[in-house]
Amino acid sequence: MQNFNNVIDYLKGEVLDREEEWKRERQEYQTAIIELKGQLEEQRNLNKQLIERLEKLEQFKVSLKPITDNIKLQNKKKFHHRVKSDNGTFLKSEMNEQKLITQPNIEKILQKDKKPLLQNFLKELKNEDIQEDQVQNQIQIHSPINLQLLQSAKINQILINQNTYNTCSARQKHHHQRSNSNGASELLNFALQRKKQTLETSQNELNSMSMTEREIIVGKEIFQTKGQLRSHLDGVRSILFQNNYIVTASEDCTIKLWNLNDVQQMNAQTHLEPIQTIRQHDRPIFTMTSYFKAPQIHLYSAGVDGTIRTYIATTNQCFSWRAHTDVIWSLKHHPHDQRLLSSSADGSVKMWKSLGVCYQYDLIRKGNLNLEMLQNPLANFTFKKSMTGLSIPTAIEWICKGFNENIICGYSDTLTFIVYDVTTVKAIQQIRFDLDNQFNNNAQPNRILFNNELKYIVSGHDDHKIRFFDSNSSKVCKTLIGHTDAVTDLCLFSKNVYQLASVSHDGSMRTWDIRKFQCLHEIPAHKQKYDEGIYTIASNNQFVATGGADGIVKIFNYQNVI
193 shares a domain with 242: no
Residue 12 falls inside a structural domain: no
Last residue of a domain, one of 207, 233, 248: 207
Rounded CA gap, 536 and 331, in Å? Answer: 14
Q: How far apart are the first and last CA of the chain?
A: 103
338 shares a domain with 292: yes
Last residue of a domain, one of 145, 172, 207: 207
Last residue of a domain, one of 160, 191, 207: 207
Q: Where in the sequence is the domain holding 84, given as residue range(s)?
A: 54-207
Which of 244, 262, 266, 226 has the alpha carbon at shortest distance from 544? Answer: 226
Query: What does the pLDDT read at residue 170?
Result: 45
The DSSP result for 359-401, as a single string, is: HHTTHHHHT---THHHHS-SEEEE-EEETTEEPPEEEEEEEEE
292 shares a domain with 203: no
Does residue 466 contact residue 490 with C-beta atoms inside 8 Å? yes
Residue 375 falls inside a structural domain: yes
CATH classification of the domain holding 314: 2.130.10.10
Q: Is 557 exposed, middle or buried (0-12, 13-18, 19+ CB in 10 A)?
A: middle
Which of 242, 325, 295 has the alpha carbon at shortest distance from 539? Answer: 242
Query: What does the pLDDT read at residue 266?
Result: 83
Q: What's the number of domains the chain is made of?
A: 2
156 shares a domain with 259: no
In one-letter notation, the amino acid at residue 263 is: V
Q: Provide φ and ψ at 8, rounded to 5°.
A: -65, -45
Residue 47 falls inside a structural domain: no
Residue 242 falls inside a structural domain: yes
Report long-range pairs for 103-108 (Cβ below 8 Å, ≥24 apart): 103/194, 105/71, 105/72, 106/187, 106/190, 106/191, 106/194
Each residue's pLDDT tens digit, 443-489: 889 999 987 777 889 999 988 889 999 888 888 888 988 888 999 99
134 shares a domain with 112: yes
* Residue 501, CB-side half-sphere exposure with 13 Å CA sphere: 27
280 shares a domain with 332: yes
Rounded CA gap, 520 and 542, in Å? Answer: 18
Residue 29 falls inside a structural domain: no
140 shares a domain with 79: yes
238 shares a domain with 123: no
Does residue 290 contact residue 247 with C-beta atoms inside 8 Å? yes
* Residue 465, CB-side half-sphere exposure with 13 Å CA sphere: 19
Which of 429, 410, 411, 431 has the alpha carbon at shortest distance from 475? Answer: 431
Rounded CA gap, 480 and 467, in Å? Answer: 6
137 shares a domain with 260: no
76 shares a domain with 129: yes
- What is the rounded radius of gyration, in angstroms, for the C-alpha atoms of the chain? 33
Residue 1 falls inside a structural domain: no
Residue 340 falls inside a structural domain: yes
Residue 264 falls inside a structural domain: yes
305 shares a domain with 164: no
Rounded CA gap, 192 and 106, in Å? Answer: 11
Low-confidence residues in the chain, pLDDT < 70:
1-2, 60-223, 294-295, 356-374, 385-389, 437-441, 559-562
456 shares a domain with 330: yes
Does residue 488 contact residue 446 with C-beta atoms inside 8 Å? yes
Is the dihedral angle over the CA atoms 482, 485, 489, 493 positive or is it negative? negative
